[in-house]
Amino acid sequence: CAAGANKPVLTLFTKKPCPLCDEAKEVLEPYKRRFILQEVDITLPENSAWYEKYKYDIPVFHLNGKFLMKHRVDIQKFEDRLRKAELQS
């Protein structure tokens, strides 16, 4: 779908299990049509650099490759940055 190509990409750095990540995804549920969610399991060998960086901080979110927030969803910040990203695409 060509429409999806211009959507901002929200990257969630996570691991299993991650109750806080599940909670964060629920908070973001109403927005899910506005971004592409990409989940990165930091426990996988190929993601060891992210594991070292974020092992005590998940969930961590990046929007279009830039750090956005960690631990909890800051909905104000998320809405603001998502709107800006949508305007740029």
Task: Please tell me the CATH superfamily of domain 9-88, with its number.
Answer: Glutaredoxin (3.40.30.10)
Q: How far is CA 30 from the centre of its chain?
A: 14
What lies within 8 Å, CB to CB, of 85 at 6+ separation is 8, 63, 64
Domain ranges across the chain: 9-88
Taking only the tens of pLDDT, the chain with its 89 residues reads 455 568 999 999 999 999 999 999 999 999 999 999 999 999 999 999 999 999 999 999 999 999 999 999 999 999 999 999 999 87
> In what side-by-side order are the strands of the sheet with 60-63?
36-41, 9-14, 60-63, 66-70
The per-residue pLDDT for 3 is: 53
